[in-house]
């Protein structure tokens, strides 16, 4: 009897576990278009479109994944020169913050002697009446620039998942 109970319990547990799927299914992604790697929390999709960044028209390739209404995305583009790539960081941040009617709650900016500029931002706002949160890392190296963002309803962006995504972004 104990053996049957154990076998039935094991079978029930296997069925239960096979029906579960993790909300975050992290996977390594290496861009075929730009030299970066990142971990996405779900299978990402990629598209390219022309955007206007304070008068500079660039083709930006966005790769993004969505989990429960939260979007995790990396955008990559190339400017005509390094100075315009650095200027694009602020333009991207302003546009994203404006889109959710947000207020920047934290911002750190660095520029080093090797032409690398970074900007890390957190912002909170509302979109269609829902509280929204944005966590972003913007970076330029030479003529290339990147935006790495997690954006969505405030309750759909667990801090540990956002941290894992942002810190996984790597450039060679």
Q: Would you place residue 143 in the very low, low, confident or very high pLDDT band (cuts 50, 70, 90)?
A: very high
Q: Would you place residue 23 in the very low, low, confident or very high pLDDT band (cuts 50, 70, 90)?
A: confident
Q: CATH no. for residue 130?
A: 3.40.1000.10
Tracing tokens 């995790």 back to the chain, one arrives at 72
153-156: long-range contacts (C-beta < 8 A, 24 or more apart)?
153/69, 153/70, 154/124, 155/131, 156/67, 156/68, 156/69, 156/70
Predicted local confidence at residue 97, as pLDDT = 92
Q: What is the 3-state secondary structure (H, E, C) of 17-56?
A: HHHCCCCCCCEEEECCCCCCEEEECCCCEEEEEEEEECCE
Is 12 part of a structural domain of the chain? no
**What's the predicted TM-score (pTM) here?**
0.84
Is 13 part of a structural domain of the chain? no
pLDDT at 11 over 50: no
Predicted local confidence at residue 103, as pLDDT = 93
Tracing tokens 């008068």 back to the chain, one arrives at 55
Is 1 part of a structural domain of the chain? no
Predicted local confidence at residue 22, as pLDDT = 64
Predicted local confidence at residue 114, as pLDDT = 81
Domain count, the chain: 1
Predicted local confidence at residue 128, as pLDDT = 84
């Amino acid at each position: 009897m104990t053996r049957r109970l154990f076998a039935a319990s094991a079978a029930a547990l296997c069925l239960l576990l096979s029906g579960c799927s993790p909300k975050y299914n992290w996977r390594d992604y290496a861009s075929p278009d730009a030299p970066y790697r990142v971990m996405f929390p779900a299978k990402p999709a990629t598209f390219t479109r022309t955007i206007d960044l304070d008068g500079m028209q660039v083709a930006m390739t966005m790769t993004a994944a969505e989990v429960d209404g939260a979007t995790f995305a990396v955008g990559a583009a190339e400017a005509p020169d390094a100075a315009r790539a650095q200027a694009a960081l602020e333009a991207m941040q302003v546009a994203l913050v404006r889109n959710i009617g947000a207020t920047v709650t934290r911002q750190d900016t660095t520029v080093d002697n090797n032409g690398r500029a970074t900007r890390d931002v957190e912002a909170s706002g509302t979109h269609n009446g829902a509280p929204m949160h944005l966590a972003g890392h913007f970076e330029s190296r030479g003529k290339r620039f990147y935006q790495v963002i997690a954006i969505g309803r405030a309750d759909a962006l667990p801090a540990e998942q956002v941290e894992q995504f942002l810190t996984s972004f790597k450039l060679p």
